[in-house]
Structure formats: structure tokens, C-alpha cells
Structure 1
Amino acid sequence: MQRSRMGLTQDQAGAAIRVSGSLIAAIENGRLVPQPDTAAQLDELFGTGDEVQRAAEEAREDARPPWLRPWTEHEQRAVLLRTFEPMLIPGLLQTEAYARAVLAGGRLSPAEVDRTVQVRRERQAATVDRDDPPMLSAVIGEFALASGPPEVMRDQLKHLLDMSQRPKVQVLVVPRSAGLHAGLAGAFVLATLPGRGRAGYVDDQLRGRLVTDGGDLDRLEVSWEIVTGLALPVNLSRDLIAKAINDHD
């Protein structure tokens, strides 16, 4: 490998591009794919043109499950994303520690957790964290605010509260007092695309599914109207999130 040919240790290579030696190790053993800027710095360090960048892009594409790829293309093109999660914090608003805690509960291997977390970070970077993000409206069940290790949930809820202050992020909470409702049938996302196109995404125990059928999308729209009607207003939702942070102290 190029690093060895140059006589550099992992720590030295990391220091040269201002990352940790452990990150270089994770890249070399395949646990992580370098982000585009890191890949570009490695190419510059090693004098390899765009070899690392091309390999990283291929690995990044391979890391996304085939059933997820069509949805992420819609997700990145969307001008509006509406997501409902009755039990969890939505993926685009998750911290890395929270995502790892959720994924670890699924008995995935460490390598599978690493790959899934990286894909999630890249989806965040391509949507809510980009310079011109889509509008994101997230409706969350109150249960999601209370479930998880306290040390993880504190940071996650603070992040959620911070995100809710962004101009293009709206977070609403459906309180437990709402009782049984249609949204409890499962999480879903609706994407409004340029030119008023629509796409949806639903998840289950095995994999996610892209929804493009007009009738199915209409039914998801009805479910969206139900859960938003049950949700607390923005300010009261923020108050409930702040209270949940204190409850985890």
C-alpha cells in the first residue's frame, strides 16, 4: 500500500492530513470509507491522482443496500421531506452515538454497524447539512424521546433541539395522550420532488421500500395529516424535548 511504500506509520499519515491514526487504520481495514475531502487529501499525500477518491466512491456506493439506493436519490433531490417516526428519532436527525445504540440492538456485527452509520452520515451531509437543504418536517412520537441510554439520549435530544432551531427544520411531537392512531402502523417518509413530483419510503424488519404508486402515496398523505393533526405545536414540542433532556439527567 502507498502508506507503507512511503515509510509512514498510520499516525504519521493521519497527522499529515489532520486526522487520527485510528481513522487511517479503520480505512485500511475496510471498516470505514474515507469522506470525499479525506480521500482527496490522501491522494495528494500519496501522489495517486484520484485513485483513492475513485475507490472511495465505489466503496460508498457498495455500502448502500440496493433497496436503499433509489430512495436516497429521491431524498437528495427533494425540496421537502416529511418524516414520521413513532418509536425512534428520524435517521436524518440522529447523532452517531444514538445510531450506533439503535443498530447495536439489532445484533449487527461491528463492521455492519460502521458501514450503516457511515451511510447515514452521508445521507445527512447530502440533505439537512448541505448548503441548500430541503425543508425537513419531522413528526416524532413522544416514546422516542424517552427510549435509550441516558448518556446517549441527552446528547441526542440536545442535537434534536438544536436542529429544530434551523430555518428549514421543523420538529413536532405527538404526545402519549394522543392514544391509538393510524401513525402507529409504522414509520414513513414523503418526499416532494422538483416539479411537484412525489415519492415515499416505508421501512420494515427486513428492508426499506420505495413507494411511487399514486394510491399508496395518497394513503401516506392521509396518515401524515393525521399525525400532524395530533402533534403539539412547534414551541410546545420544543418544551417537551427540553423536559425529556432534563428527565435523562
Structure 2
Amino acid sequence: MERATEPIADLIRAQLRRLRTAAGLNQEEFGKQVHYSGSMISAVELGQRPLDRAFLTRADEVLDSGGLLIALLRMMERERQPSWFRPWLDAERTARQLRCFHPTLIPALLQTEIYARAVIRYDGLLSDEEVEKRVAARMDRQAVLAQPDPPQLIAVVDEALLHREDESFRGLMTRQVEHLVAMAERPTISIHVVPLGVGLYSGMSGPFTLVHSTDGGWVASLENQLSGTVVDGEPAVATLLARWETVRNEALPRRQSLELLKEVVTSWT
């Protein structure tokens, strides 16, 4: 059940009732159109059932709300994010440049849904419901790359993460690398691979992301096993910008990286 003290959840339910009433539909009639029973509609509107993304998506379509309910759900999910992460979401959404490096995982903005779900599910402390919420939130973040005037994204990954040998992992990675190839062919996205032949390099100490915002400043995000840190102090950001240049210089050029990604897919298929 949604927590009664969540104002955005209350707002979503109120808007759902308002839109349904304005459309001249009772709960039974509306339920038939969204493939729910009338009693289920009542439970959702009363807060006795959790707010479900698939249901709200369908409700937006049936009620012709212009995506209002899903927009409010995204707002609620943002408020549920850890306090340290909210400023980062704001910075990411207004970014003009994004620079991502990860030595062991595909960066979040380039993950397929199935890859993201597998990564998030490895945290055995999360319920299935929480896993799906986090997957949905991660997919929503990727909307920044599909907007009319998207930011420039430069991502660097280590080739080692492209060569997982476990057979159950192979199909997942094939689709993920195919997605990387498709993304890398967009004019605003550049993906670079640090080849296996490179020995120790500075990026192996951990992942980081840099955002250049509309106000001209840089902000960084660092991840660890428990949480993450948003960095905006000038000395620390300057250090990470220098670290980025070092990592980027170890990687292959864009065209060679794209050819390597295509070779990886071919070798698996």
C-alpha cells in the first residue's frame, strides 16, 4: 500500500478520479477500458493498491490526459530517490554534455531494460517490486537522450566487460552490445572502448560521470557499493576532468570502437 503521507501519491489518485469523472465514466466502465475490475479501480483510487506504471500508462491513454498521470508518477519516484541522488537527476536532465566512464558495467544511460534488470537484481536485498521500480526509473532517465535537442554523450567502457563467458549471460550481452552499436551511430553519442591490451590505467579505481550543465558549470557523480556522491567542488571536479582525459586517451577512437563492438556481436552470434 502507498504510504498515506505521500502527497504526490494522493495527487495522482485525486487526478485519476477527476479525469475519470470528467470523462463520464464510473469505476466499472473505466475498469473495462483499462482491463481492471471496478473493485480494483476503487482500490487504486482509495490507496489500497499500489500505483502501477502499466495501469497509469493505460489510464493516460483512455482518459486522454496528455501523460499527466505518468508524469506525476515519475515525480513521485524522484522524491523516493535517496537525497544525495536528486540533485544529480536534476543536473542530468539539464545537461548539455555528459561524460561517463565505467570499468565493469555499461553506463546507466546506455543500458537496455533487460541488462538494467539483471544488474539491479543482483542486489539480493531488493524485492521484485523494488527491482521493477528501479528499472523503470533508470529507463526514464534515458529520455534525456531522446529529447529534440539532446546533450552530447561521450561514454568510455572497458573491453573486458564485453567478454563475459557465462553462457546464460551471452544472450543478454549480445542484445546490450547491439544496443550500444545503435546508440553509437547517433550523431550526439560517442562510445569509446579501452582495449584489453591496455594495462593498468587510472580509470580502474572506479566509475564516474561528469555533467556540463546549461549554466556552464561541471558536476560529477561517484558510485560505490552503498550509495554515491555528487561532487561540485572546483578542486575535486578539476581532478575528475583531468582523470577523464587520461581515461579517454587510453580508449580507441570512435570509429575503431564501433568496429570493435560490431566484432563482439558477430563473435557471439
TM-score, structure 2 normalization: 0.77
Query: 1:92 aligns to what?
Result: 109
Q: CA deviation at 1:118?
A: 0.8
Alignment of 1:59-208 (within 5 A): 59-107=76-124, 108-125=126-143, 127-147=144-164, 149-208=169-228
Q: Is the 8 A contact 2:34 2:59 kept in 1?
A: no
Report if the CA contact (8 A) 1:74-1:193 is conserved. Answer: yes
Corresponding residue of 2:34: 13
Tell me the distance in 2 between the aligned counterparts of 1:97 and 1:31: 22
- Matched residue type, 1:6: E
Q: Which residue in the other structure is 1:21 paired with? A: none
Shift of 1:170: 0.2
- Report the aligned-residue RMSD: 2.9
Question: Which letter does structure 2 place at the counterpart of 1:106?
Answer: D
SS of the residue aligned with 1:200?
strand
Q: Structure 2 vs 1, CA of residues 195 and 41 (structure 1 numbering), >3 Å: closer, same or farther?
A: same
2:230 is matched with which residue: 204, 207, 210?
Answer: 210
2:264 corresponds to which of 241, 244, 248: 244
- Distance apart, 1:217 and its partner CA: 0.5
Q: Secondary structure at the match of 1:177?
A: coil
User: How many Å separate the matches in 1 of 2:67 and 2:265?
Assistant: 45
1:58–1:42 distance in 2 versus 1, CA, 3 Å: farther
Structure 2 CA distance for aligned equivalents of residues 63 and 166 of structure 1: 32
Quick one: structure 1 residues 57 and 72, their matched pair in 2 at CA, closer, same or farther if it must change by over 3 Å?
closer
Distance 1:163 1:91 in 2: 13
Check conservation: 2:153, 2:188, Cα contact below 8 A.
yes
User: In the alignment, residue 152 of structure 1 is paired with which amino acid?
Assistant: L
Could you tell me how far 1:57 is from its partner in structure 2? 4.5
Q: How far has the Cα of 1:66 moved from its partner?
A: 2.3
Separation in 2 of the partners of 1:163 and 1:29?
38
Deviation, 1:165, is: 0.3
Unaligned stretches of 5+ residues in structure 2: 1-16, 37-43
Contact 1:182 1:226 (8 Å CA) reproduced: yes
Contact 2:34-2:55 within 8 A present in 1 as well: no
The TM-score with structure 1 as length reference comes to 0.83
What is the alpha-carbon distance in structure 2 between the residues aligned to residue 135 and residue 76 of structure 1?
Answer: 12
1:239 Cα shift?
A: 1.4
> What is the deviation of 1:240?
1.2
1:32–1:118 Cα contact (<8 Å) kept: no
Residues of 1 paired with 2:201 and 2:117: CA distance?
29
Q: Tell whether the 8 Å contact from 2:79 to 2:86 is kept in structure 1 after alignment.
A: no
Contact 1:43/1:50 (CA < 8 Å) preserved in 2?
Answer: no
3-state SS, counterpart of residue 204 of structure 2: helix
Q: Distance in 2 between matches of 1:79 and 1:36?
A: 31
